Amino acid sequence: MCAMCYRYCLFDFDGVIADTEGSNHYYLDKTLKKFGINMTSEDKAMLIGRNNRKHIEEMFKRAGICYNREEFLKERKKTGNSYQDGKICPYPGVEDLLKELRASGIKTALVTSTSAYLILSALNTIGITDLFNVIVCGDMVEESKPDPTIYLKAMEYLHAEPRECVVIEDSPTGIMAGKRAGAYVIGLKASKIDQDTTEADAIVYSYEELGRLLSDPDKKDHWR
């Protein structure tokens, strides 16, 4: 890390707090099949880390099917989702690290492209809602990642300067959003879906490794 003063740690949710990407694809694919649409691997890659309504519309257009958003959302709700099926669980070490950061005076934020009602359901199920000072979700901004707006909004709520923030992300779009917002970005490769994190400032493979990086004695002064 460069010699700056980090006081805030901002986390994505999908692929960072919990490994939901594969499950999210399953539920979305199941919904789309009801309309006669099959997701390609390119579609799945495009949707990771984004709340991309436009791409879903494009899939309907590509299949020659008229897109009715209300009808699609109705079917999507009936199909179910990763956040309310009761099976979601955080990566090992998530809760401990969040508690350690908070105890050290580091403020935390959850910054996700997923809708608020889904994320709050998941956080309440996991039991870590109160470990975040700020929660910003995809339906609270107009533009999705890689646009930096969602991170800038979280920084505004935290009263933080970008140079004081570290972002934890797992996808190229999320990493780009964090960097465009001016933060130091750590790429977490804990998900079963391997994503390109080469643009991150640092890369870790587990919360144990992330904790060591954030508590490195050589970097201690940057977290004050």
pLDDT above 60 for 221: no
Q: What DSSP string describes 170-204?
A: -SHHHHHHHHHTT-EEEEE--SSS----TTSSEEE
Evaluate if residue 46 carries a pLDDT over 90: no
First to last CA, the chain: 14
- Given CA atoms 65, 24, 125, 128 in this order, what sign does their dihedral have? negative
* Residue-wise pLDDT tens digits, 124-148: 989 999 999 999 999 999 998 999 9
Q: Which domains does the chain have, with CATH numbers?
A: 8-20+86-223 (3.40.50.1000), 21-79 (no CATH)
- pLDDT surpassing 90 at residue 101: yes
Q: Would you say residue 1 has pLDDT above 60?
A: no
Least confident interval from 24-28, 205-209, 215-219: 215-219
Q: Rounded to an integer, what distance in angstroms lies between the CA atom of residue 64 and that of residue 58?
A: 10
What pLDDT score was predicted for residue 151? 98
Summarised one tens digit per residue, pLDDT across range 48-58 is 656 667 788 88
DSSP 168: E
Mean pLDDT of 141-156: 95
Residue 104: C-alpha distances to residues 72, 97, 154 (Å): 45, 11, 20
pLDDT at 220: 46
How large a percentage of the chain has pLDDT more than 70?
91
Q: Between 193 and 141, whose confidence is greater?
A: 141
Confidence of residue 25 (pLDDT cuts 50, 70, 90): confident
Residue 70 predicted with pLDDT over 60: yes
